[in-house]
């Protein structure tokens, strides 16, 4: 066979060898784009009712030239010897922390007292400015009122008329 050449290649494969050691970690690729927002889940059940809160207010007055035996209107300068002219109906709550001050110090023969009243009667929440004093506090006593009770503030003095000019007071009233 002239001019023809034949070539044979013989390949033999042996058994697979043992696994080699793991190579080093490659460089991290770039971060992919952010995915779409998922669907909104269903609304969970309503939680239990919380404990009812309270509300508090500072009640105050600043009255000029108050005479003995006067009832003082809160948040106003009016005063009257007639309690029903100056009392106010209140929501259920508690009065506390009475502070009472006179514009100028009393003399050694004068005292001044302010008393919170409930439905026409005196309560334990009261404060007396002693002789030669100008202020007092009652942080101990409290008065509880029911819905619709009347609250009034009575001013009394000994020694002279209007001992010390302006009568100023405040107390805390917290509703229930």
Q: Output phi, psi for 85, to 5 deg.
A: -80, -20
More confident residue, 74 or 1: 74
Query: What is residue 166's three-state secondary structure?
Result: coil
Q: What is the pLDDT of residues 119-132, one digit of tens each?
A: 999 999 999 999 88
% of the chain exceeding 70 in pLDDT: 89
More confident residue, 13 or 104: 104
Query: What is residue 83's three-state secondary structure?
Result: helix
Average pLDDT, the chain: 87
Q: What is the pLDDT of residues 133-176, one digit of tens each?
A: 899 999 999 999 999 999 999 999 988 655 567 899 999 999 97
Structure token digits, residue 104: 């100028």
Structure token digits, residue 100: 């009472």
Q: How many whole angstroms separate alpha carbon 146 and alpha carbon 100?
A: 24
Q: What is the pLDDT of residues 105-114, one digit of tens each?
A: 888 888 999 9
Q: What pLDDT band is residue 4 in, cutting at 50, 70 and 90?
A: low
Q: Does the predicted TM-score (pTM) go above 0.85?
A: no
Structure token digits, residue 32: 């992919």
């Amino acid at each position: 066979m002239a001019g023809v050449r034949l070539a044979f290649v013989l390949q033999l494969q042996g058994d697979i060898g043992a696994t080699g050691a793991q190579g080093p970690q490659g460089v991290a690729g770039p971060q992919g784009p952010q995915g779409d927002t998922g669907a909104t889940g269903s609304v969970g059940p309503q939680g239990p009712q919380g404990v009812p809160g309270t509300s508090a207010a500072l009640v105050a007055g600043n009255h000029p030239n108050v005479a003995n035996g006067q009832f003082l209107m809160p948040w106003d300068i009016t005063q009257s010897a007639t309690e029903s002219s100056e009392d106010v109906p209140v929501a259920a709550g508690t009065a506390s922390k009475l502070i009472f001050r006179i514009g100028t110090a009393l003399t050694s023969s004068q005292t001044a007292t302010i008393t919170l009243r409930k439905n026409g009667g005196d309560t334990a929440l009261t404060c007396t400015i002693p002789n030669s004093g100008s202020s007092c506090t009652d942080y101990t006593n409290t008065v509880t009122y029911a819905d619709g009770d009347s609250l009034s503030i009575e001013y009394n003095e000994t020694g002279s008329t209007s001992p010390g000019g302006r009568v100023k007071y405040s107390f805390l009233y917290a509703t229930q």
